[in-house]
Structure 1
Amino acid sequence: MRLTSIDALRGMAILGILLMNIPFHANLELGYVPFSPILLSDQVMTLFHSIFADGRFRTLFCLLFGAGLAIQYDSCIRKEVDPKIFIKSRLKWLFVFGFIHGVFVFGGDVLMLYSLVGYFLIDGLSLDNKGLLQKSRKFLIIGCTIIFIIAMLMLIFSDPSERVVRGTEEYFESVAYWQGNWGYQTMINAGFSIGLLILSPLFNLWQALGLMYLGSYLYRSGFFIQGFSRSVLVKISILAVVSTLLCIAPQIFIKDIDSEVIPAFSSISAIFVALVYAHIVVKLCQSKSRIMSVLANTGKVAFSLYILQSIAMGILLRWLIPEFSLEATHLDYLLIVIAFTVIQIVIGQLYLYKFKQGPLELLWRSLYNRSIHKALRDHIAERGSEARCK
């Protein structure tokens, strides 16, 4: 049986992640380039992102990915199906989708990384709850330590004079080369997505693995049905507030801070903030909130909507109105996000009136089911051959 809270959280994550990705849909190479002097509205929006959005929705995705793998593993055990064959087939095809998406559409793809990390998680899914929590803590400590060290090095050694500034000749040349040149965009997308995958052991693989272990633990401990206890929620909320204050402190006290440093710090506080978000959604689902029902329908087609975001934003911002990014502020991007959020919600509601699965979800299921059946046939044939040899 599907848990409404997991679908609702998935819907929340897919809608929220666009807020942070949208400048990179316009220009992956530059992302959001600040004005000089920096606009007050941009400073406010950057703080808003750091407190409420940056890394929070990506963290939710990771938690839910781990929970999803635990659900599939437990289901396979009940049905007496080899969970490794089943999960590996799903992850293999997810990697293929991620590769196509990352190379040809949007280099900020997360599907390849998540499918890779999922392979490392499979053996750990046989652990009990205590073992899952211990693994989660171990990998989160390792991952957060690595990210913190990288963020501090960037903070210390970054040179403000080398950054691209909006309106400069260098900026316009870079934008002109990017816009309308699909071959160049594809090369950058490929380099970015594959490069992140290769370098992930030095950056975000361990944190992602820790989050997936945590998501598995949360599912098996019944969190997505009941939420946290009051005492645990208080502790996590305090950690969320303290870590977020530490995250935004450099932005407040350091002039001309490198914008690439901020997401690194935010990814640490995102763990605790995402857990608070998850608790709130679980509790609202218990009250059968109409809003949660809408989010749940959105979450049921999250895979299709994730790819749709990249295609729609790529067409809009790189081809239909490429000049928009030249003068767009964070507030301008926010308006597009709000409008497209409404569109995604409507698509999710209307699509599920007629169909049970999103189009890409259905295609994915068809592909991995074929792989599973083939793998099972090969496995049976191999065992039969071994028996005859004996």
Structure 2
Amino acid sequence: MPNVSSDDRIETLDVLRGIAIVGTLASNIWIFTINVGSAATPLLPDWIGEVSQWLPNGKFLGLLTIMFGIGLEIQRQSALRGGRTWPGTYPVRAGLLFLDGLINYVFVVQFDVLRAYAVTGLLVAFLLLTSDRVQWWLISVFFALHLTVLVLTSSLTVPPRGEALSLPELSRAARVPTEDGGYWSLVNSNIRNIGNAFTIYSEFSTILLMGIPLFLLGGKLYRAGIFRTEGVQLRRWLIVIGLVVALPVDFVLGTYDGGTLSSYSRYGTAPLVALGILAAVAQFYQHRAPGRFAHALGRVGTMALSCYLLQNVLGVVLERTIFQSNVVRTVDPVLGTYAVFAAISGILLAFAALWLRWRRRGPIEYLWVASFKLLVRERRADS
């Protein structure tokens, strides 16, 4: 088996980020297409739609969370190699990410993860200063706390048996204004009720509690050699845990009784499945170089922030324009959603490919880096 070079390992990270971005779209697409096929007689059996919603739900959110943790560890190692203190200027990065998430929440979608990642990253940046033993203890404690809060909050919000809401219905109830309201009505509502975005029942709090142990675990996996040749045994164990053990349990939780237990799937077992996906992709590219499609996903991963925001903007624009038409309401909901997912994914792949022909980073990444350098320069000038 050939040894994997450093460049290949970095490219594998980009491929995984690309998979995570497109995978989150596969989950969120059902929210954007709530009106697609709303007046149609379905052509496909109900179970196809249920499985299609279950399959990406939470897995790629978990993968994206783990990848953020790996990225944080890479930044820490880079700082130490460069003789810089840690966490150093990372709080500035976290602040910019939080601002990105806040703008995304107010003006685009309420199911934003960037705010939670920013706060999680800020906390974990300091927790990485502790010993390995303390970090394992923190992982255990926060996983236990996350599961406890998940059980308590889910038990208060689970609908009566036989009256479960689907993912799109739950999301629509949480983010769409009254029928006589428009886009700016929703923006105004988001601003006035901004506190609701940070309650114990919000996804922000759930991802924060879930993210702390997953960020720490991602860093540990990177240090343990998850992308190196000698990490083969670690990858095999994670594949067994994630894809052999956790995936069937996740299927039961995600599809039982119309999805009444789907929150346990999304935030409980799905992150374990994500570990299996991470290990499987890493193992796959130990044997071969990334191909054409992997390179395309890698380009999406290179400009992950730009593509994440773009897919949300495209989804909202389509939801509020084309998807309101009577023609769209009469197509099969599952087939229509598949078509929209394929179209937006194609736009992301094409946009990333075209942009990176001329630039090294995505447009939002350039803006982000420029803002970071400006803030750090002013901070140093003040000091």
TM-score above 0.5, yes or no: yes
SS at match of 1:54: coil
Paired residue for 1:184?
185
Paired residue for 2:14?
7
Residue 158 in 1 paired to residue 189 in 2? no
Paired residue for 1:111?
114
Paired residue for 2:228?
225
> Do the aligned partners of residues 253 and 356 (structure 1) sit closer, same or farther apart at CA in structure 2, a change above 3 Å counting?
closer
Residue 321 in 1 paired to residue 329 in 2? no
Quote how far apart the aligned CAs of 1:353 are: 1.2
Asked if the contact 2:58–2:265 (Cα under 8 Å) also holds between the matched residues in 1, the reply is no
Which structure would you say has the larger Rg? 1
How does 1:32-51 map onto structure 2 within 5 Å?
A: 41-50=45-54
- Aligned partners of 1:23, 1:189: CA distance in 2, in Å? 21
> Do the aligned partners of residues 350 and 247 (structure 1) sit closer, same or farther apart at CA in structure 2, a change above 3 Å counting?
same
Sequence identity (%): 23
- Aligned partners of 1:272, 1:177: CA distance in 2, in Å? 38
Paired residue for 1:21?
28
Asked if the contact 1:42–1:331 (Cα under 8 Å) also holds between the matched residues in 2, the reply is no
Structure 2 letter corresponding to 1:233? R
> Do the aligned partners of residues 223 and 302 (structure 1) sit closer, same or farther apart at CA in structure 2, a change above 3 Å counting?
same
- Aligned partners of 1:191, 1:327: CA distance in 2, in Å? 36
- Aligned partners of 2:17, 2:335: CA distance in 1, in Å? 25
Quote how far apart the aligned CAs of 1:7 are: 0.8
Asked if the contact 2:210–2:267 (Cα under 8 Å) also holds between the matched residues in 1, the reply is no
Quote how far apart the aligned CAs of 1:129 are: 4.1
Quote how far apart the aligned CAs of 1:227 are: 7.9
How does 1:1-390 map onto structure 2 within 5 Å?
A: 3-25=10-32, 41-50=45-54, 52-155=55-158, 158=160, 177-178=178-179, 181-190=182-191, 195-199=196-200, 203-226=206-229, 228-230=231-233, 233-234=236-237, 236-238=239-241, 240-249=243-252, 254=257, 256-258=258-260, 261-286=261-286, 287-290=288-291, 291-323=293-325, 324=328, 329-379=333-383
- Aligned partners of 1:263, 1:92: CA distance in 2, in Å? 29
SS at match of 1:82: coil
* Segment drifting more, 35-44 vs 320-329: 35-44
> Do the aligned partners of residues 148 and 314 (structure 1) sit closer, same or farther apart at CA in structure 2, a change above 3 Å counting?
same
1:237-283 CA distances to partner (integer Å, 9 max, x unpaired)?
245444333333356653x554xx41432321112211111112212
- Aligned partners of 2:37, 2:143: CA distance in 1, in Å? 31
SS at match of 1:7: helix
> Do the aligned partners of residues 137 and 162 (structure 1) sit closer, same or farther apart at CA in structure 2, a change above 3 Å counting?
closer
Quote how far apart the aligned CAs of 1:191 are: 7.0
- Aligned partners of 1:192, 1:34: CA distance in 2, in Å? 29
- Alignment length (residue pairs): 367
- Aligned partners of 2:36, 2:135: CA distance in 1, in Å? 38
- Aligned partners of 2:164, 2:271: CA distance in 1, in Å? 32
- Aligned partners of 2:334, 2:193: CA distance in 1, in Å? 23
**Pairwise CA RMSD:** 3.6
1:302-355 CA distances to partner (integer Å, 9 max, x unpaired)?
110111111111111212332346866233212211122122112111211111
SS at match of 2:361: coil
> Do the aligned partners of residues 241 and 77 (structure 1) sit closer, same or farther apart at CA in structure 2, a change above 3 Å counting?
same
- Aligned partners of 1:276, 1:159: CA distance in 2, in Å? 32
> Do the aligned partners of residues 298 and 37 (structure 1) sit closer, same or farther apart at CA in structure 2, a change above 3 Å counting?
closer
- Aligned partners of 1:302, 1:120: CA distance in 2, in Å? 22
Asked if the contact 1:55–1:267 (Cα under 8 Å) also holds between the matched residues in 2, the reply is yes
* Segment drifting more, 202-211 vs 107-116: 202-211
Quote how far apart the aligned CAs of 1:120 are: 1.1
Asked if the contact 2:62–2:274 (Cα under 8 Å) also holds between the matched residues in 1, the reply is yes
> Do the aligned partners of residues 10 and 194 (structure 1) sit closer, same or farther apart at CA in structure 2, a change above 3 Å counting?
farther
* Segment drifting more, 335-344 vs 261-270: 261-270
Asked if the contact 1:88–1:119 (Cα under 8 Å) also holds between the matched residues in 2, the reply is yes
Structure 1 letter corresponding to 2:45? S
**TM-score, with structure 2 as normaliser:** 0.82
Quote how far apart the aligned CAs of 1:38 are: 9.3
Structure 1 letter corresponding to 2:198? L
Asked if the contact 2:58–2:266 (Cα under 8 Å) also holds between the matched residues in 1, the reply is yes
SS at match of 1:224: coil
Quote how far apart the aligned CAs of 1:288 are: 0.6
- Aligned partners of 1:87, 1:11: CA distance in 2, in Å? 23
Quote how far apart the aligned CAs of 1:21 are: 0.9
> Do the aligned partners of residues 333 and 191 (structure 1) sit closer, same or farther apart at CA in structure 2, a change above 3 Å counting?
farther
Structure with bigger helix share is: 1
- Aligned partners of 2:179, 2:160: CA distance in 1, in Å? 25
SS at match of 1:83: coil
Quote how far apart the aligned CAs of 1:150 are: 3.2
Quote how far apart the aligned CAs of 1:32 are: 9.6
SS at match of 1:126: coil
